Chain A
Amino acid sequence: MSNTGVFITSLGIISPVGQGLNDTLDAIRKATRGIKPLHLFPTSHTPPLPVGEVGSFSLASDLPRTHALALVAAEEAMKHAAGVPDAVVIGVTTGGMPFTEELLKRGELDSKQYEYHSTGSVAECVARHVGCTGPVLTVSTACSSGAVALKIALEMLRSGMAKRVLAGGADALCRLTYYGFHALQLVDEAGARPFDRNRRGMSVGEGAAILLLTSADDPPDNAMAELLGAGLSCDAYHPAAPHPEGTGALRAMKDALSDACLSPADIEYIQLHGTGTLDNDLAEAKAIHALFGERPIPPLSSIKGSVGHSLGAAGAMGAAVSVLSIAHDIIPANAGFHEPDPQLNLIPVRMPTVKDINTALVNSFGFGGNNAVLAVGHPRRRKRPETPVCADRLRSFTVLGSACLTAAGGLEQTIDAMRHGKGLPGIVSFSEIVKPLSEKYVRRLKRFPRMALSLAVSACGASATDGPPSSVFLGTGWGGLSETYDLLMNLFASGERFASPTDFVGSVHNAAAGHVAVHFKSTGPNVTMTGGDCSFEQALFSACLLIRRSDKPLLVIGADEHHKILSPLFDASVLPGGPPSDGGGALCLKPATPAAPRRVCPSFMAYSPNNDQVILALIRALGGNRTIREQFGAVMAGIPAAQRARGTAQLEEFLSITGYPHPVIDYRRFVGEFASASAVATVLAVSFIEAGEIPENICDRRKTPLRGRGVLILGFGHVVTAVEVVP
């Protein structure tokens, strides 16, 4: 046990009511309402729907709006910070979509124009700007992304792997979300009125909030607040609607309290998710009543009537505003609320109210039934509980089951094809994807969610005795490309009149993980990471941080679909003329004891630009040259085509420093170029270890015995990663 706390020592915020801490605080005090008809781009609506649009700000013109908003917030957070953060964790859903949709609308086919499309490029932009050389993670869990990012940052700090983490969320208004939420009939034409009896929906918004978190035994002088704890859960109920009884929301609130060693009576303010939709506000109200029971419910309010719903930024913005509430003793008004709703039986705070607040809960819920709740406290005014740090830190997982999909088929066919020297790069056949799935269940799912679900079902099929997985971690570079493309093209073809609700819900990056959760009733954390070529490693890394020791299995999946138009535009490694390829891998895992067989351990992740020591750091993290030579009978190296030169140099440096004598498998040459190729490599590594050898024709014409050694999976390029698989 220790008394280490995680403190918020600075933050940056930009929202429709102001840029920077001072303006935001002023707007909270004046109850400024920032919701107005959309001005940013022309629409087919007259007048345009009301949104939370950020006014003019210094926009780096060569960057999409999401990136620019994130940079504004990050710059403010780092303004007075001494030193560079050890890690960056950003929650985001739109990424470069503000550019991408305009480019696609005018039929632009130059892939260079799309270089900032990926959600992962937002966190990388921030990392580059602040000079971070550690893990750079991207969370894409729809409207809870920002809060989930803060939870991951909290666990990185608690585990001791980082001392300072820059974390938050950012999202910008774009046609995809503007029309998408309208198609779901979730937009209030009068502007969001959270918790009001006459509420008709949300107002889509935008903005960014980024917090600098610092771990310390005693509150630093500049501590504004303490991040006391956080809870994650999944409804496992429906792709878009919350559980009608708010059971998932309740579980996340309870988990946040227990993670922070608090009881409901300690909470002095609740910042509601409060989007203003009929279903969200009702489910949230039910969850709050269930949490407090007969006890008095503290003051509560939603800021979304003032700033709109900034999606991936919302959870971080909620956290930032709660920090201001605690530091300046003020409860923000619940703008838009006029008439109480007897069904909700909760009256939010109507006017800005001066009040001492020591402890607050911040609610954040998203599509896929994805719930995240943060507990934020005054850094000094309350007695801090002793929190266990590192005590149950997970080092590795044991593999219960695994599956992969490649152009050859499943795992057996993939190995067979490799053994016979057949080229694997290619597209997974549709019949192979749907093999384990019921047609009725997947009728609404396009290629990517089907792949993810198919992998999940196959990986868990082999481990039925351990029960279904309780949590789901999914890494994908690009998410549902078919849904995104179909949505945008049909929208443009109809003169921006019709957006398919099904495609919109499917285009959200975490939709696939949501379907997996519904299938298995996995109500634990449900986390989708979208960090480009190391998305799968990021999913594995997050699982290690978020899963406590337990006997319950979890799923870690990596998958990407090839889309004939979008993949060559978005993924610089998908070269014109090269064989199109896609696929993925899934592992059903359980937290491992040191003696457990078939262990998987994500042991290194570092952002490499401007870091010429990255390979030395990698070698150190793996235990040094001798350990590497003795422990690993083969290296599987992932070098994305777009980063061949840099990646090859990194691999050569690694091999020459370690004097590595065993085979190296350049696995993308077998499985093809797609972002989550490393998931396939990891599943192959597990199967090699089970067999005790690498089959013939893979690294040598003959079989290569592993002699009890493990396999090391390395990723090179912008981000250098290591995943150890040991017998």
Chain B
Amino acid sequence: MDELISELKVKIIETLNLLDVRSADIKDDAQLVGGDLGLDSIDVLELVMMLEKDYGVKIDTKELGVKVFASVRALADYVYQNRLGSAH
């Protein structure tokens, strides 16, 4: 799980072009959207696209998005449980 969290942090930074952010700046349990990173709804949708492309995970409602993008840990949990080829 820790590996997936680290991997997702790197992907978030790359996908959203967060030039002044390092992986260590994103805390596992910190609020991901509307927090210090300055992410908004368009960023969330850009991450939705990345998750579908790279992990085969679909997030197609706002309600689900709010839950999944609560923090990097919540995101990793969701990806872990729903990724294509996962045992679950």
Which chain A residues have a beta carbon within 8 Å of chain B's beta carbons? 183-185, 238-241, 278, 439-440, 443-444, 494, 498-502, 505
Q: Which of B42, B49, B52, B53 is within 8 Å of A239, CB to CB? A: B42
CB <8 Å contact, B45 and A498: no
Interface segment out of the listed B15-23, B25-33, B66-74, B78-86: B15-23
CB <8 Å contact, A501 and B46: yes
| Bound form: Cα–Cα A95–B26 in Å | 42
| Bound form: Cα–Cα A505–B40 in Å | 13
CB <8 Å contact, A444 and B45: no
Chain A: minimal CB distance from B60 (Å): 7
CB <8 Å contact, B42 and A498: no
CB <8 Å contact, A494 and B41: no
**Residues on B with beta carbons closer than 8 Å to the beta carbon of A443:** 16-19
Chain B interface residue bracket vs A: 10 to 19
Chain B CB count within 10 A is highest, among A185, A278, A498, A500, for A185
Task: Check A498/B53 contact, CB under 8 A, given A238-B40, A440-B20, A443-B16.
Answer: yes
**Residues on A with beta carbons closer than 8 Å to the beta carbon of B16:** 443-444
CB <8 Å contact, A183 and B18: no
Task: Check A185/B38 contact, CB under 8 A, given A494-B53, A498-B53, A501-B49.
Answer: no
Q: With contacts A185-B45, A185-B60 known, what are 16 further pairs, Cβ within 8 A?
A: A185-B48, A185-B62, A238-B40, A240-B42, A439-B19, A440-B38, A443-B17, A443-B18, A443-B19, A444-B43, A498-B52, A499-B49, A500-B49, A501-B42, A501-B46, A502-B45
21 contacts between A and B (CB under 8 A): A183-B45, A183-B49, A184-B42, A184-B45, A185-B60, A238-B40, A240-B41, A241-B41, A440-B20, A443-B16, A443-B17, A443-B19, A444-B16, A494-B53, A498-B52, A499-B49, A500-B46, A500-B49, A501-B42, A502-B42, A505-B42
Q: Give 7 nearest A-B pairs by CB, closest first.
A: A501-B45, A443-B17, A502-B46, A498-B49, A501-B42, A501-B46, A439-B19
The chain B residue with its CB closest to the CB of A189 is B60
Chain B: minimal CB distance from A453 (Å): 16
**Residues on A with beta carbons closer than 8 Å to the beta carbon of B60:** 185
Which chain B residues have a beta carbon within 8 Å of chain A's beta carbons? 16-20, 38, 40-43, 45-46, 48-49, 52-53, 60-62
**Residues on B with beta carbons closer than 8 Å to the beta carbon of A278:** 62
Chain A: minimal CB distance from B46 (Å): 5
| Bound form: Cα–Cα A185–B41 in Å | 11
By DSSP majority rule, is chain A's interface helix, strand, loop, or mixed?
loop
**Residues on A with beta carbons closer than 8 Å to the beta carbon of B41:** 238, 240-241
**Residues on B with beta carbons closer than 8 Å to the beta carbon of A240:** 41-42
Chain A: minimal CB distance from B66 (Å): 12
Chain B: minimal CB distance from A289 (Å): 23
Chain B: minimal CB distance from A555 (Å): 24
**Residues on A with beta carbons closer than 8 Å to the beta carbon of B45:** 183-185, 501-502
The chain B residue with its CB closest to the CB of A490 is B49
Chain A: minimal CB distance from B15 (Å): 9
| Bound form: Cα–Cα A494–B53 in Å | 9
Chain A CB count within 10 A is highest, among B43, B46, B52, for B46
| Bound form: Cα–Cα A444–B60 in Å | 22
Chain B: minimal CB distance from A280 (Å): 13
CB <8 Å contact, A444 and B42: yes
| Bound form: Cα–Cα A501–B20 in Å | 22
The chain A residue with its CB closest to the CB of B38 is A440
**Residues on A with beta carbons closer than 8 Å to the beta carbon of B18:** 443
CB <8 Å contact, A444 and B20: no
The chain A residue with its CB closest to the CB of B18 is A443
Chain B: minimal CB distance from A531 (Å): 28
**Residues on A with beta carbons closer than 8 Å to the beta carbon of B19:** 439-440, 443
Chain A: minimal CB distance from B41 (Å): 6
Chain B: minimal CB distance from A264 (Å): 32
The chain A residue with its CB closest to the CB of B40 is A238
Chain B: minimal CB distance from A104 (Å): 20
| Bound form: Cα–Cα A498–B45 in Å | 11
CB <8 Å contact, A439 and B62: no
**Residues on B with beta carbons closer than 8 Å to the beta carbon of A494:** 53
Chain B: minimal CB distance from A202 (Å): 15
**Residues on B with beta carbons closer than 8 Å to the beta carbon of A500:** 46, 49
The chain A residue with its CB closest to the CB of B37 is A440
**Residues on A with beta carbons closer than 8 Å to the beta carbon of B43:** 444, 502
The chain B residue with its CB closest to the CB of A279 is B41
**Residues on B with beta carbons closer than 8 Å to the beta carbon of A238:** 40-41
**Residues on B with beta carbons closer than 8 Å to the beta carbon of A183:** 45, 49
**Residues on A with beta carbons closer than 8 Å to the beta carbon of B49:** 183, 498-501
Chain A: minimal CB distance from B43 (Å): 8
Chain B CB count within 10 A is highest, among A444, A494, A499, for A444
Chain A: minimal CB distance from B48 (Å): 8
The chain B residue with its CB closest to the CB of A501 is B45
Chain A CB count within 10 A is highest, among B16, B17, B42, B45, for B42
| Bound form: Cα–Cα A498–B49 in Å | 7
| Bound form: Cα–Cα A241–B38 in Å | 16
Chain A: minimal CB distance from B39 (Å): 10
| Bound form: Cα–Cα A239–B41 in Å | 10
| Bound form: Cα–Cα A280–B49 in Å | 23
Chain B: minimal CB distance from A630 (Å): 54
| Bound form: Cα–Cα A119–B18 in Å | 33
| Bound form: Cα–Cα A631–B43 in Å | 53
Chain A: minimal CB distance from B72 (Å): 18
| Bound form: Cα–Cα A499–B46 in Å | 9
Chain A: minimal CB distance from B69 (Å): 13
| Bound form: Cα–Cα A240–B17 in Å | 19
| Bound form: Cα–Cα A291–B71 in Å | 39
The chain B residue with its CB closest to the CB of A184 is B45
Chain B: minimal CB distance from A317 (Å): 27
**Residues on A with beta carbons closer than 8 Å to the beta carbon of B53:** 494, 498
CB <8 Å contact, B42 and A439: no
**Residues on B with beta carbons closer than 8 Å to the beta carbon of A499:** 49
| Bound form: Cα–Cα A501–B50 in Å | 11
